[in-house]
């Protein structure tokens, strides 16, 4: 039976000290309001978005000229403009802090440890900025980087954005075509790459790939040292320089920040690209800054000096999210490599050594820790840790329970969801609300989040489409190479007129929280009933026999039948008894409608570079249709396991 008590709730003392409470009270005083609950505060933040976002600007101390107008909105989401008279510089806001304290802490799987002070970060950004300007890079030019999650990567991003250039990055495990599919579209003025990286105890050589990509991009190249052969790699590419060579002529000096309009592009992020060439999603500096400062300061409760960690690569928007923590005076804790090498304790060792305040990771990682039998609550001192955040896929109810039983019993757990499209979250944690098992705590302040049925009607206690009904600052400013905005409108506004449809299958809970049941385009429709794939994963992936699962709907006899693929634990085979146990678990834990018609064991499950399983790509393979962009996958060879399966032909 489900517990009637929350897993965690803020004490009066905890709540009183949160930046969220202080912000709520400041807004009440400033605007003559009374907020008896944080839900009432959220309702006001949506109803009075101009006043709300103006308060975010002021309370967070945004550096720039705000202008008179906070919001010009005639009711059309794509035409609304936040702070149309404002000017600011993204990098200036992230580089506001100086001094000898740590700005960046780094741990590499190869045992490299590094620290970079705020002053040292300023110095490196200054040199990189001068090198970029000397190379002719200016406002609107693109800087593209194939990099590990190094301190130098943060510095390069800040140097580029300080002069109004647009930053775009991917991780070095992308294949040649995957990199060109992304960066080839945006025609960078500079291509930055590493000389190798480490994963699972092995040095990964990227030299041939970098040489090939550099030739195809036809852009100047900078090589950043990590594995010890930057000079050798640079020598293979005409005109290429190492980072050291690029900055050698320039002494550090005060950084000159270029003031730019609020909506000036700052980042280009890419859709996963598993069904075609990735979309180039352009995010604006002001909207990104405001939204991420709001999330760090208020939803995460981050304070100056906090040590904040997110396990991410530079190809996932959580890297951009993490980097924005500098604007709140946080120390960013970076990690590059496998989270299970040399052991599953490596990230918890890091958390203990540095005293993380915030530990961000993925639902898959939490489940992997649980299945590995690790109990950090018993082996590590995580006393400073206030918040654990989880994203990438829905965190199962069992995952929620494990965090409190196995990691830390007195921590706020925030399952969060949003993504590349908004470089932030629609729904996330709130330090003034309790944590209920399996539930996201609530919507983000200033975001008119709702759940609609297929007819465009708001629903409660039913599953439907996650939507946002009013404009918000971190909407993309455009798609690159989409001059009339047709691709942009088709991506978010085709489903419901003038309403952002995010593509998540969601449900409000009785507590005012939300449950994400999976992607809308991956929902199953047996007998015309919509089923979220996460509902099935939440059951079957708790079984010790099952390491991982993927579910699709297969077109069959004028209907759709549910097919479940399972990657089994080592030494386990899919017997009739195990199939029966899986079906029983799903039937009792979800419903008879969720029970798969076919269960098939596979040796591997394809996933993107950021670890998300690719249901749509598998569905295409099962139906004999080509997958257009296998380069987006971390393990594209796994797709072959789903071709012409005998079990699915009958």
Least confident of 210-214, 380-384, 619-623: 619-623
What DSSP state is assigned to residue 603?
Answer: S
First to last CA, the chain: 38
Residue pLDDT, tens place only, 540-598? 998 999 999 999 999 888 778 999 999 999 999 999 999 999 999 998 888 888 899 99
- Give the up-direction half-sphere exposure of residue 419: CA atoms within 13 A in the CB hemisphere: 15
Res 337 pLDDT > 70? yes
Residue 3 is predicted with a pLDDT of 63
Query: CA 60, CA 407: separation in Å to the nearest integer?
Result: 32
Residue 221 is predicted with a pLDDT of 98
Residue 125 contacts residue 159 (beta carbons within 8 Å): yes
Q: Which of 67, 65, 61, 56 is nearest to 30 (CA)?
A: 56
Count of positions (residues) in the chain? 650
Residue pLDDT, tens place only, 393-419? 889 999 999 999 999 999 999 999 999
Residue 601 is predicted with a pLDDT of 96
Residue 572 contacts residue 638 (beta carbons within 8 Å): no
Residue 1 is predicted with a pLDDT of 40
For 494-505, what is the mean pLDDT?
94
> Domains (ranges, CATH) in the chain?
12-89+263-517 (3.40.50.12780), 117-258 (3.40.50.980), 523-648 (3.30.300.30)
pLDDT band at 204 (very low <50, low <70, confident <90, very high): very high
For 513-522, what is the mean pLDDT?
88
For 517-540, what is the mean pLDDT?
82
Query: CA 617, CA 625: separation in Å to the nearest integer?
Result: 9
Backbone φ and ψ for 180, nearest 5 degrees, come out as: -65, -35
What is the maximum alpha-carbon separation in the chain?
Answer: 71
Residue 551 contacts residue 524 (beta carbons within 8 Å): yes
Residues 6+ apart with CB under 8 A from 270: 168, 170, 182, 278, 279, 280, 281, 420
Q: For residues 97-115, b (16+ Cβ closer than 10 Å) or e, as one string?
A: beeeebbbbbbbbbeeeee
Q: Which helix (H) or strand (E) holds 586?
A: helix 576-589
Our CA angle for 172, 174, 180, nearest 5°, is 110
Q: How many CB atoms lie within 10 A of CB 418?
A: 24
Residue 115 is predicted with a pLDDT of 98
Residue 528 is predicted with a pLDDT of 67
Query: CA 502, CA 475: separation in Å to the nearest integer?
Result: 11
Q: Which of 292, 295, 322 is nearest to 307 (CA)?
A: 322
For 467-493, what is the mean pLDDT?
96
What angle separates helix 49-60 from helix 38-47, to the nearest 10 degrees? 110
Residue 632 contacts residue 272 (beta carbons within 8 Å): yes
> Which tokens hold the place of 397?
């109810």
Res 102 pLDDT > 90? yes
Average pLDDT, the chain: 94
Query: CA 481, CA 120: separation in Å to the nearest integer?
Result: 37
Q: Which residues pair with 64 in a beta bridge?
A: 88
Res 613 pLDDT > 60? yes
For 123-136, what is the mean pLDDT?
98
Residue 275 is predicted with a pLDDT of 58
Query: CA 650, CA 645: separation in Å to the nearest integer?
Result: 10
Mark out the alpha helices in 372-457 (DSSP H runs). 376-379, 397-402
Query: CA 506, CA 523: separation in Å to the nearest integer?
Result: 11
pLDDT band at 2 (very low <50, low <70, confident <90, very high): low
Query: CA 143, CA 166: separation in Å to the nearest integer?
Result: 6
Res 276 pLDDT > 70? no
Res 626 pLDDT > 80? yes
Res 169 pLDDT > 90? yes
pLDDT: which is higher, 243 or 617: 243
Residue pLDDT, tens place only, 8-34? 999 999 999 999 999 999 999 999 999
What angle separates helix 151-162 from helix 118-134, to the nearest 10 degrees? 50
> Which tokens hold the place of 103?
């700005």
């Amino acid at each position: 039976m489900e517990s009637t008590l929350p897993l965690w709730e803020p004490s009066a003392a905890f709540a009183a000290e949160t930046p969220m409470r202080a912000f709520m009270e400041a807004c009440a005083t400033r605007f003559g309001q009374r907020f008896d609950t944080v839900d009432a505060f959220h309702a006001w933040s949506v109803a009075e978005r101009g006043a709300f976002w103006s308060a975010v600007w002021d309370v967070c101390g945004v550096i720039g000229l705000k202008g008179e107008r906070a919001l010009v909105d005639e009711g059309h989401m794509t035409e609304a403009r936040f702070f149309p008279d404002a000017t600011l510089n993204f990098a200036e806001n992230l580089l506001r802090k100086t001094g000898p304290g740590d700005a960046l802490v780094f741990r590499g799987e190869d045992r490299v440890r590094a620290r970079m002070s705020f002053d040292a970060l300023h110095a490196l950004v200054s040199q990189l900025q001068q090198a970029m300007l000397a190379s002719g890079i200016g406002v609107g030019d693109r800087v593209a980087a194939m990099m590990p999650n190094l301190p130098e990567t943060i510095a390069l991003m800040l140097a580029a954005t300080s002069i109004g250039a647009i930053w775009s990055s991917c991780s070095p495990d992308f294949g040649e075509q995957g990199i060109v599919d992304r960066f080839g579209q945006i025609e960078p003025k500079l291509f930055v790459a590493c000389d190798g990286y480490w994963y699972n105890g092995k040095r990964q050589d990227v030299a041939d790939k970098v040489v090939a990509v550099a030739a195809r991009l036809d852009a100047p190249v900078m090589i950043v040292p990590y594995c010890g052969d930057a000079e050798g790699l640079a020598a293979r590419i005409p005109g290429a320089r190492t980072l050291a060579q690029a900055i050698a002529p320039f002494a550090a000096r005060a950084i000159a920040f270029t003031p730019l309009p609020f909506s000036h592009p700052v980042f280009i992020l890419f859709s996963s690209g598993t069904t075609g060439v990735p979309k180039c999603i352009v995010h604006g500096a002001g909207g990104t800054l405001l939204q991420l400062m709001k999330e760090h300061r208020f939803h995460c409760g981050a304070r100056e000096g906090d040590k904040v960690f997110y396990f991410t690569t530079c190809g996932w928007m959580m890297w951009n999210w993490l980097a924005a923590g500098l604007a709140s005076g946080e120390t960013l804790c970076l990690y590059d490599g496998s989270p299970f090498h040399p052991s599953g304790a490596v990230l918890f060792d890091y958390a203990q050594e540095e005293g993380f305040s915030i530990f961000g990771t993925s639902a898959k990682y939490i489940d992997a820790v649980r299945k590995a039998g690790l109990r950090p609550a018993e082996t590590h001192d995580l006393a400073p840790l206030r918040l654990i955040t989880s994203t990438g896929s829905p965190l199962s109810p069992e995952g929620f329970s494990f965090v409190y039983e196995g990691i830390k019993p007195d921590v706020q757990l925030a399952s969060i969801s949003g993504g590349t499209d908004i470089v932030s979250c629609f729904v996330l944690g709130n330090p003034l609300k309790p944590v209920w098992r399996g539930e996201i705590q609530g919507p983000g302040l200033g975001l008119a989040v709702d759940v609609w049925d297929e007819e465009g009607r708001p629903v409660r206690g039913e599953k439907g489409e996650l939507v946002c009904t009013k404009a918000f600052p971190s909407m993309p400013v455009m798609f690159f190479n989409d001059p009339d905005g047709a691709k942009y409108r088709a991506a978010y506004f085709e489903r419901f007129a003038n309403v952002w449809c995010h593509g998540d299958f969601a449900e409000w809970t009785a507590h005012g929280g939300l449950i994400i049941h999976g992607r809308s385009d991956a929902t199953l429709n047996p007998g015309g009933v919509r089923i979220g794939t996460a509902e099935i994963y939440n059951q079957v992936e708790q079984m010790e026999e099952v390491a991982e699962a993927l579910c699709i709907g297969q077109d069959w006899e004028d209907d759709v039948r549910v097919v479940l693929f399972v990657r089994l634990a080592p030494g386990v085979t899919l017997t009739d008894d195990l199939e029966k146990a899986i079906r029983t678990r799903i039937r009792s834990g979800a419903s008879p409608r969720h029970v798969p018609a076919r269960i098939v064991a596979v040796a591997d499950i394809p996933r993107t570079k950021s670890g998300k399983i690719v249901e749509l790509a598998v569905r295409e393979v099962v139906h004999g249709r080509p997958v257009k962009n296998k380069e987006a996958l971390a393990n594209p060879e796994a797709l072959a396991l789903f071709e012409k399966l005998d079990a699915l032909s009958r």
